[in-house]
Structure 1
Amino acid sequence: MTTPPTDRAPAPPGPDPRRWLALVAVALSVLVISFDMTVLNVALPTLASQLEATTGQQQWIVDSYSVVFAAAMLPAGLIGDRFGRRLVLTLGLALFGLSSAVGMLADSPGTLIAARAAMGLAGALVMPMSMAVIPGIFPAAEQRRATAVLAAALAVGTPLGPLIGGFLLQHFWWGAIFVVNLPLVAIGITACLILLPETRNPAAPRIDLLGTLLGAGGLAVLTYGIIEGPERGWSDPLVLGTIGGSLVALTALVRRSRRRPDPMLDLTLLADRTFRWSVVAATLVSLVLYGAFFVLPLYFQSVLGADAFGTGLRLMPMMLGLMVAARFSDKLVARTGHRPVITAGLAVLAGALLIGSRTDASDGYGPAAVWLVLLGFGMGLSIITAQATALLTLPPARAGVGSGLLQTFRQVGGAIGVALFGSLLAGSYRGALDTTELPAGAADRAGQSVVAADAVAASTGDPSLAASAHAAYVHGMTAVLLTAGVVAVLSAVLVALRMPSVEPTGPAEPSVGGAVTGEPAADGPGTGPGPSAAPAADHG
């Protein structure tokens, strides 16, 4: 007897069972990039001493990474969409490892700034691709949780950087903070090649070279002008010229993007109010947090007398608050929606910064430990929820461009935060420092940074100078924290009033007929032919 034919279609393939393992590989890549954003903060006092870096050079050591990161993010997203997201992700990790090797051998501030800029370029290749691969390996019902995991990895790296950097500085030379990147990069590349599928969208727009130059140049000269403002004076022609020129370049970029049918800076994505306000919230969080991270390590080391590893440990209460927020943010969103969670996170963040702004030079570590827990908790609620919500609103074909746009705004916020708050710190510190009894040369050196003032005090045997420098630094730090706290309060109010309350459900599952992968139809999320995690489509 023969079995009668059946017209029933074969069951659609289910999700790939290795998808969460693949997410671990992507999260590891994000973690490496993330903690390197802050690993240098704890090393700044050592760098300032051994490389004789001024406050402005220290700002550029931090900001060169963020500026290049932000400027290259948009074209990186397009490159990944067009030529392959796994390819760009692994190339970015390889470049990150190479530039880390250069950084660990740097013997001058200029060389280190160049290495950090190359690391920023590598980070720009990695970050948007890490988010863009999620729709290709996860069904819609799991995409919020997967996106939250990546956002948590990105957030956890922020306080993890100072701890790792402090440990390495205590036991090795300062270049060791880059050595740790090498094995992590190797593991990340191997895991991505084994576990991730190759997905692409050949219909993605071409790279806009002029737009890339306008964006990179505009951000670079804007940051330069903000950093040089306190040094030269805000009315200095060079400062005014660079800031004005940056505004012209960025305005030209926006106008060019609006005229082009396939812009690199796709501002039409911001027409979705949920995406727009999620991006705004994530950007504002980055702005205020980078200001806090810039001032805290020097406070712990120069004022409280901690070593590098002790500074990293003193930042760990922030990790505790962040982990609690990461554990519960998804459940809170399910109960209340994204807007209350983001608003509450910004409010807690504001409260922590305002408490920190009450710090006195005679205070010990205890008060800081309390508000650092709140800082981490508010950071986790706001940044994790904002990023997950933004990415869930993106259509699959525009995931690379959209995640690149999100991370670009975040990095711009961070770079401007370091520049603005670093300038505020430098101006407040010099204004409060008493150098009336010092020769002109020594007074000029002491005014460069609290580390330089401690060195002058030690060489001259003048303990009153060290005390004045510590008090002046705390004065500048509290001004930064107060300003950041006010910005966070205003941000919470803005999000509460303007952000839509409708929860995004994620893009619909793509159909088989919409495939734009550039891969054979049978290829799926594994390393070879096999069942796909989702119907073949543009896995944007």
Structure 2
Amino acid sequence: MSQPSTAPAVPAGPRVPEAVHRRRWAVLGVLMLSLLIVVLDNSILNVAVKTIAAPAPTGIGATQSELEWSINSYTLVFAGLLFTSGLLGDRLGRKKVLLFGITVFGIGSALAALSGSPGELIAYRAVMGLGAAFVMPATLAVLMNVFERDEQPKAIGIWAGSVGLAIAIGPITGGILLEHFWWGSIFLVNVPVVILALALMLWLVPDSRDPNPGRVDIPGVLLSVVGLVLLVYGIIRGGELASFTDVTVLAPVLGGVAVLAVFVLHERRSDHPAIDMSYFKKPAFSAAVAAIALVFFALMGVTFFSAFYLQSVRGYSALESGLLILPLAVAQMVFAPRARLVVERFGARAVCTAGMVLVALGLAAFALFDATTPVWALEVVFFLQGAGMAHIMPPVTVSIMQALPREKAGSGSAINNTFRQVGGALGVAVLGSVLSSTYRGEIEGHLGGVPAALRDTAGESIEATLAIASKLGPSGQDLVAPAYTAFLDAMHVTALASAAIGLAGAVVVAVFLPGRGADAPTAPGQAPVPGPATDQSQAPTPAG
């Protein structure tokens, strides 16, 4: 098999040192452990939102908006700093960045566990996001530098499958902890895992870096952070007010869009951009990152409201909710490592399009759910969603990572994870706002018996309505049934919006991803060489 290097001065042949190559699977295990705790933390949080929303001492009385920000403070810091962390990994060494990130994540986890108010939780979640921003891209960048190109699709499939493992472990672990300990235990559980990961990293993970790194694009990073925070804040505010025309909504939304437009212009003109915009001129590369953003936009919003559906409407405990979501994770664990085999047979375009359609159908199914939907129907839908995700993430990640030279693995991983996290953050914000505004519109007509001072709070979410109903005693019981009905109506609207986003992603990949046997985009600096997808000199259709 031909293996030309991305740099002409380097002879053809394996570029991974033999000592590193021999322990590559052990290194992958350490990377999966690091990835697992970062993803597990968010999946734990999804089943804990109801507990955190409860008044003290059970929770900390977080409102719907504060719950969204406890998720978005993490994701926005994470997404905003991925550019810098990826570049720093390429420049300073990925192992150093990985060790720094996992340490900060552990410290943030300990602080979050001791939060005394929603504001503190939001702040410490941001610290965790800072640490995660240095962990996530480093894991994928290290992977690309310990595996030869022909093994990378298989390794990336296993790497993506570890996300499914985290999704499975997270809700179940969270449920067990919430049944036996206080809510902060869902964060404190990260600390011993962080200590183990640090020890294994120091022992097994090799260091690597770009021999010719560029300067860090600090203005670009600042512009992206400011733009995203303004945009998402405006959208969340719109959900709180049930109006998207209020000046406190329009000002941050329009300001965020303007700042992000300046960010794109800056990146195009900079001689050391955080993101090399030339990569986006390749339709297959752009389609891959768009697919990641769109699928996580749709899924994160649904994951946010599914916790309330399972616990508030259906009455399941946090542990039972975690067990109910298990089929989604199992499907990812089973299918993600094998997705490359399906791609080899049918091509990335067909496989990813089918995966997106499957995810969209699963999201649309939520529009049919009510308070008595059989459990087996929920399980089937969750399994199909997981199967769809397993046939999207590995192929598009391979497309992105193999489009860049190995020396730029940190930058490639930053692009991959930035669009994933930004898509997820916007999904929670936009779909959370749709859910909140629709619920408020449905429930307001039933709040006449609620004291005027409490009506605004009672209309914010189903948890708020039920909490006030319990305080009102027998007179509040008339609110319970309308609250369930209003939430289900809001969930149905949000599910259909999510499905529409999923179908948009299916169209994007069907039009722009390469088909079976097609040549995929070549990384800048690499010469296009015709041949099979495993040719070392080009960014192939993800086939393995």
Structure 1-normalised TM-score?
0.89
| CA distance in 1: counterparts of 2:522 and 2:282, whole angstroms | 13
Task: Tell me whether 1:341 sits opposite 2:351 in the alignment.
Answer: yes
| Aligned twin of 2:4 | none
| Aligned twin of 1:467 | 481
Tell me which amino acid in the other structure corresponds to 2:50: P
Task: Tell me whether 1:500 sits opposite 2:509 in the alignment.
Answer: no
SS at structure 2 position matched to 1:140:
coil
Offset, 1:159: 4.4
Single out whichever of 138-147 and 383-392 deviates more from structure 2: 383-392
SS at structure 2 position matched to 1:40:
helix
CA deviations 1:293-351 (Å, max 9, x no partner) are 00111111111111111111111121222223224312101111211111111011011
Offset, 1:490: 2.2
Contact 1:269/1:402, CA 8 A, preserved across alignment: no
| CA distance in 2: counterparts of 1:473 and 1:204, whole angstroms | 51
Which of 296, 299, 303 is matched with 1:293 structurally? Answer: 303
Ranges of 4+ aligned residues in structure 1 off by more than 3 Å:
11-15, 503-508
| Aligned twin of 1:18 | 23
Offset, 1:445: 2.8
| Aligned twin of 1:179 | 188
Structure 1 pair 505–330 and aligned structure 2 pair: CA distance change class (3 A)? farther
Tell me which amino acid in the other structure corresponds to 1:384: P
| CA distance in 2: counterparts of 1:20 and 1:362, whole angstroms | 46
| CA distance in 2: counterparts of 1:496 and 1:287, whole angstroms | 18
SS at structure 1 position matched to 2:208:
coil
The RMSD of aligned alpha carbons is 2.2
Contact 2:275/2:415, CA 8 A, preserved across alignment: yes
| Aligned twin of 2:6 | none
Single out whichever of 448-457 and 285-294 deviates more from structure 2: 448-457
CA deviations 1:44-72 (Å, max 9, x no partner) are 11111121211111110111111111000
CA deviations 1:68-92 (Å, max 9, x no partner) are 1100000000111100100000110
Q: Where does 1:372-521 land on structure 2 (aligned, <5 Å)?
A: 372-433=382-443, 434-460=446-472, 461=474, 462-501=476-515, 502=518, 504=520
| CA distance in 2: counterparts of 1:503 and 1:63, whole angstroms | 38
Structure 2-normalised TM-score?
0.88
| Aligned twin of 2:240 | 231
| CA distance in 1: counterparts of 2:383 and 2:160, whole angstroms | 19
Tell me which amino acid in the other structure corresponds to 1:46: T
| Aligned twin of 1:284 | 294
Contact 2:137/2:417, CA 8 A, preserved across alignment: yes
| Aligned twin of 1:518 | none
Tell me which amino acid in the other structure corresponds to 2:42: M
| Aligned twin of 1:363 | 373
| Aligned twin of 2:171 | 162
Contact 1:151/1:388, CA 8 A, preserved across alignment: no
Offset, 1:175: 0.3
Q: Where does 1:180-199 land on structure 2 (aligned, <5 Å)?
A: 180-199=189-208
Q: Which consecutive unaligned segments of at least 5 residues does structure 1 have? A: 1-8, 511-533, 535-540
Contact 1:39/1:161, CA 8 A, preserved across alignment: yes
Offset, 1:212: 1.4
Contact 1:70/1:124, CA 8 A, preserved across alignment: yes
Task: Tell me whether 1:152 sits opposite 2:161 in the alignment.
Answer: yes
Offset, 1:155: 4.1
Q: Where does 1:520-531 land on structure 2 (aligned, <5 Å)?
A: none
Tell me which amino acid in the other structure corresponds to 1:488: G
Task: Tell me whether 1:55 sits opposite 2:64 in the alignment.
Answer: yes
Contact 2:290/2:508, CA 8 A, preserved across alignment: no
- Identity among equivalent positions (%) equals 37
SS at structure 1 position matched to 2:502:
helix
Equivalent residues, number: 502
CA deviations 1:434-453 (Å, max 9, x no partner) are 22232223333321221122
Offset, 1:377: 1.0
| Aligned twin of 2:533 | none
Contact 2:87/2:410, CA 8 A, preserved across alignment: yes
Which of 112, 116, 126 is matched with 1:107 structurally? Answer: 116
Offset, 1:202: 4.5
Contact 1:97/1:181, CA 8 A, preserved across alignment: yes
| CA distance in 1: counterparts of 2:273 and 2:204, whole angstroms | 32
Structure 1 pair 225–159 and aligned structure 2 pair: CA distance change class (3 A)? farther
Which of 123, 144, 163 is matched with 2:132 structurally? Answer: 123
| CA distance in 1: counterparts of 2:176 and 2:490, whole angstroms | 27
Q: Which consecutive unaligned segments of at least 5 residues does structure 2 have? A: 1-10, 527-535, 537-544
Single out whichever of 226-235 and 255-264 deviates more from structure 2: 226-235
| Aligned twin of 1:315 | 325
| Aligned twin of 2:148 | 139
| Aligned twin of 2:33 | 28
